[in-house]
Amino acid sequence: MVTVQSQNRRMKIAAVQMVSTPDWPHNRDAAARLVGKAAAAGARLVALPEYFCLLGRRDSDKLALAEDPGSGTIQEFLADLAREHALWLVGGTLPVKAGRTDSGDHVLNRCAVYGPDGREAGHYDKIHLFAFDNGRESYDEGRTLCAGGTPVALELADDTGPLPGGRALRVGLSVCYDLRFPELYRALMTPPCDLLVVPSAFTYTTGQAHWELLLRARAVENQCYVLAPAQGGLHENGRSTWGHSMVVGPWGEVLQVLPEGEGVVMAELDPAHIAQVRLQLPALAHRRL
């Protein structure tokens, strides 16, 4: 076995699992408590799930909560939370006004990332919009959302890291249904990411069948860590989400998982482990397409 020596220490990363409600203040307080729990355990990067701020009784409820880009109560809350705990915060998703669209009032499903100083480091608007109908359950995000169009990977660095030794952490952003489109993740891998983040609210039906399978596949094919915060339980609107928030390592190993209910899963991101996997099996270097 080839061993890679590295002076970079490991970095604790955490995924928050929630069972969000139609009430923003309730969800806000739950998110603050769970991020605080992760921070107290030493996490330096924490990710919230998709729709952490609201799982309404109707799809259209998110329209009333939509904020202007870069301004609003939810975005201020996320910035303050990152600053309070001096960590990198992947803010799940929130509805952001998209302006006038050809099909009427629609919003973007935005994942914004905040640094330890509370400033927004960047954001990603969900590209792939979920639709599903098995005769019993029916969903169509296109009724209220408009799709983003640009893959986003961020180089996270500050005066204290996040990876000691002077190297920034490269993080690829995605949201829920994006997980089914490997070409998005390939687009994020030039240069390769250390971490892929997937804030999600998978339905119970699709999650039970495909969630872990897809997360592990994205980790294996891109030889990096995957952090997947999720909604996990029975919501007030009657919808059941699969949960199973998890951290997956670059060899496809599930490092920690929470089946359902509120909580935090955490693991250590080890740059040396990423380098070792890529050295022993240089699949990324072998790409031809």
Is 32 in a helix, a strand, or coil?
Answer: helix
For residue 37, what is the DSSP state? H
Mark whether 176 is an active-site residue: yes
Identified catalytic residue from 53, 62, 126, 141: 126
Amino acid at 280: Q
Identified catalytic residue from 12, 50, 53, 262: 50
| Cα–Cα–Cα angle for 196, 202, 204, rounded to 5 degrees | 140
* Full DSSP string of 49-106: PTTTT---SSTTHHHHH-BBTTBSHHHHHHHHHHHHHTSEEE---EEEE---BTTBS-
Q: What's the rounded Cα separation, in Å, for the pair 243 and 232?
A: 3
Mark whether 126 is an active-site residue: yes
Q: Where are the alpha helices (DSSP H) in the chain?
A: 24-40, 61-65, 73-85, 182-187, 204-222, 271-280
Identified catalytic residue from 146, 176, 193, 224: 176
Side-chain half-sphere CA neighbours of 238 within 13 A: 5
Strand order in the sheet with 245-248: 153-156, 169-173, 195-197, 225-228, 245-248, 254-258
Mark whether 50 is an active-site residue: yes
169-190 burial, b at 16+ Cβ within 10 Å, e below that, comes to bbbbbbbbbbbeeeebbeebbe
For residue 167, what is the DSSP state? B
Q: What's the rounded Cα separation, in Å, for the pair 111 and 174?
A: 8
Q: Which residues are annotated as catalytic?
A: 50, 126, 176
